[in-house]
Chains A and B, each alone.
Chain A
Amino acid sequence: QSALTQPASVSGSPGQSITISCTGTSTDVGGYNYVSWYQQHPGKAPKLLIYTVSNRPSGVSVRFSGSKSGNTASLTISGLQAEDEADYYCSSYTLINTLVVFGGGTKLTVL
């Protein structure tokens, strides 16, 4: 199972909005509404930001939102802050060779 496809890097200025895409296939992203997004700061464990495409766990800022269209999911971060600079990973449930497939990760730089 190949990893989901994410852009290697994105950047934005404080206060702006950015969107990170996550492209899979009909056997993962397109086939299930079980897409999650994680934020990982250097040397830290991942933190769950979004689950089931667009739901936020308690305590996650409303600046983080998720959506999906066909085989592509997206994470939007609005009102960028310096602390948002991190790596972001998407994941999807799948039944092909594994149960969960992750994206390759996107490095967000806040300019």
Chain B
Amino acid sequence: EVQLVESGGGLVKPGGSLRLSCAASGFSFPNAWMTWVRQAPGKGLEWVGRIKSKTNGGTTDYAAPVKGRFTISRDDSKNTLSLQMNSLKTEDTALYYCTTGFCTSSSCHWDDAFDIWGQGTMVTVSS
């Protein structure tokens, strides 16, 4: 079964740090480009950042609001994606999803269409 399971969420004070994990199974994780998307309570979806597969350089890109504070990494030996969040702000309060795209016979859609999603892990930043 194709599955993504996030963990690590919780309550943290402003300025604090938290590390989220996402365990992948049922698909070729090392070949997948992995993305984090968040959703503030009652709000819409927001792209957070992405890490490419190691064969594609393993590089990362981040949304402007989190750049310099969040770091995405991957451990292909454990099929695990991580999101290290530092200098947390109240506006980072959200449900954090890990997600990934897919390839068809003609093209890959790693950055534009996400068809596997986890259930999300909630991060609350509050004093």
Interface residues on A, range: 20 to 34
Question: Known contacts A46-B45, A91-B45: does B111 contact A57 (CB below 8 Å)?
Answer: no
Interface centre among A1, A51, A52, A102 (most CB of B within 10 A): A51
Q: What count of chain B residues pass the 8 Å CB interface test?
A: 22
Interface centre among B61, B102, B114, B120 (most CB of A within 10 A): B114
A30 at the interface (CB under 8 A from B): no
Query: Are B50 and A99 in contact, with the CB atoms below 8 A?
Result: yes
1/0 contact string of A1-13 vs chain B (CB within 8 Å): 1010000000000
Q: Which of B111, B118, B120 contacts A100 (CB 8 A)?
A: B111
Instruction: Determine the residue in chain B with the shortest Cβ distance to A4.
Output: B44
A93 at the interface (CB under 8 A from B): yes
Which of A's residues lie within 8 Å of B, judged by CB? 1, 3, 32, 34, 36, 38, 45-48, 51-52, 57, 89, 91-93, 97-105
Interface centre among A34, A98, A102 (most CB of B within 10 A): A98
In the complex, A48 Cα to B116 Cα: how many Å? 8
Point out the residues of chain A lying under 8 angstroms from B50, CB to CB: 99
B119 at the interface (CB under 8 A from A): yes
Query: Are B45 and A89 in contact, with the CB atoms below 8 A?
Result: yes
Point out the residues of chain A lying under 8 angstroms from B102, CB to CB: 57
1/0 contact string of B97-115 vs chain A (CB within 8 Å): 1000010000001011111
